[in-house]
A = this chain, B = another copy of it.
Amino acid sequence: MNISEFAKIAGVSKSAVSRYFNDGYLSEDKRELIEKAIKQTGYSPSISARASKNRVTKLVGVIIPKLSSESCARAVEGISEILGAEGYELLLVNTANDYSREISSLELFRSNRVDGVILLATVFTELHISVLKKMRVPTVIVGQELHGFNCVCHNDYGAAYALTSLMLDKGAKDPAFIGVTLDDLAAGKARREGFENAVRDHGINLRHGFTETAQFDMASGYDKAAHLLSGRIKPDCIFCATDTIALGAMSFCREKGIAIPEDIMISSVGDSKIGRFSVPSLTTAHFHYKTSGINAAELLLHDLKHGDGVTRTMRLDYTVIERESTLFGDIDQKQM
């Protein structure tokens, strides 16, 4: 059923039908005729054809590294909420941590198919930046900061600094660090700097060999903790770049009978659900992932409506959540 056919059934002209579904410069009579015909036929105009004429798809491309990661899912929920309310739909690409797919998806989105793009970013290569520069649709980056682009990011440095300080203020003297690749400027570099500066500002010398670099998974956290805790001299607190890594480290401690927090304190960033239920529960920094999605969507909408060429960076702050893994004394006082 196309517009001509439908117009014939309704007894009006094609243009009248088109107007009905668009601006609506139409008399009541025609309007009623058309409505009646819609009830009969169930006609609805072809979105593809409309997109082809208008050059507006009402689609936003969303590129994410891993859908089953809690932070990603939350951010996408936020994006979906805002964009959905404005009549946009999401074209979702799950790269499954294959960063080359980020590039190819960006290229796919570059000149057509979508009206805008939101990229949940991890690592930026030269290629990323060159493709991003060529984007012809508004684009927002979430989770990383890249000068000259719209960004919504988290205060990674601050969170790491605060959590490390928390442990040192509680009397830890020999801190260690398990981080992720420094290629990841946010989760890698910024969190490491936050840790290191907190240590330095507390007048402590970071011991050589007390800095590890893990993958983004639990097994790796386990291994790195094993390495840190195998020497003669052992750290009395560990700051981990992610909850997942911390959970792996805790798993090692539990196995070896190393008491948390008595023998060693542990904290990390992310506030994942599991950290609330692990034993001990995990001291962490909550990042407002859903909010970051919401803000990214709003930034994009702004650009879509009045693309003023000005790029904006928005940094969301964290909330420290202290739980058992750094809590001396009243262990029963578990926070959820």
Q: List the interface of chain A (C-beta within 8 A of B).
A: 1, 42, 44-49, 51-52, 55, 57, 59, 62, 67-68, 70, 73-74, 76-77, 80-81, 84, 89-94, 96, 110-113, 134, 247, 251, 273-274, 277-279, 336
Contacts and interface: CB of A to CB of B under 8 A. Distances in A.
| Copies per complex of this chain | 2
Contact of A112 (B48, B68, B336): B48
Given A47-B112, A278-B278, 6 more contacts: A42-B110, A48-B48, A77-B94, A89-B93, A91-B91, A247-B277
A253 to B, nearest CB: 13
A336 B274 CA distance: 13
A128 to B, nearest CB: 17
Nearest to A61: B89
A47 B274 contact: no
A270 to B, nearest CB: 13
B67 A80 contact: yes
A94 B68 contact: no
A102 to B, nearest CB: 13
Contact of A134 (B42, B73, B90): B42
Q: Which 9 pairs between the two chains have the least Cβ-Cβ distance?
A: A48-B51, A279-B279, A52-B52, A68-B73, A49-B52, A80-B94, A48-B52, A92-B92, A47-B113
A133 B145 CA distance: 47
Contact of A52 (B42, B51, B273): B51
